[in-house]
């Protein structure tokens, strides 16, 4: 699976975004080491704080299907921004070396290692 294919899946998912309050549509596509892809979009709520990001929708879908091991996540927004801090932390739960592909709506993208986006992170090892 190359990055372009994963980005294309995230773009498709972005079309499903429910973002009537922010008008900021986000799509994500998460590639598990099994080879399966799980998509997500942001889902907002009239009670704003209940909204959820596209990345976490994709991660929770995947984990609830039994996946625990991930290779990469593509996130598509208008300008290609990187995931929010909460989503970085949720991704980190499943591996520091997940590749994060931040793509814009024209298909341009940047690739980051999750560790780069969340240095000195708190993780499960800190609970020991
Ligand atoms: N959002 C995401 O889906 N992912 C991010 O990484 C950043 C923010 C969503 C949440 C909300 O629906 C909208 O974008 C504006 O914050």
Nearest CA to ligand 1 atom 2: 53
- Residue 100, ligand 1, Cβ within 6 A: no
Whichever domain contains 64, its CATH number is: 3.40.140.10
Nearest to 26 by CA among 48, 56, 50, 1: 56
User: What does the pLDDT look like over 91-120, one tens digit per residue?
Assistant: 999 999 999 999 999 999 999 999 999 999
The overall pTM is greater than 0.85: yes
φ/ψ of 71, rounded to 5, equals -100, -45
Domain of 61, in residue numbers: 3-127
User: What does the pLDDT look like over 56-90, one tens digit per residue?
Assistant: 999 999 999 999 999 999 999 999 999 999 999 99
Structural domains in the chain (count) = 1
Nearest CA to ligand 1 atom 6: 83
């Amino acid at each position: 699976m190359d990055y372009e294919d994963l980005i294309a899946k995230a773009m498709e998912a972005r079309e499903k975004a429910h973002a009537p309050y922010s008008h900021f549509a986000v799509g994500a596509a998460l590639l598990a080491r099994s080879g399966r892809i799980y998509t997500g979009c942001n889902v907002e709520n009239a009670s704003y704080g209940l909204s959820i990001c596209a990345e976490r929708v994709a991660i929770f879908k995947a984990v609830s299907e039994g996946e625990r091991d991930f290779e990469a996540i593509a996130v598509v927004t208008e300008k290609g921004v990187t995931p929010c801090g909460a989503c970085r932390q949720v991704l980190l739960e499943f591996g520091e070396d997940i590749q994060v592909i931040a793509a814009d709506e024209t298909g341009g993208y940047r690739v980051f290692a999750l560790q780069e986006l969340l240095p000195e992170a708190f993780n499960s090892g800190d609970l020991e």
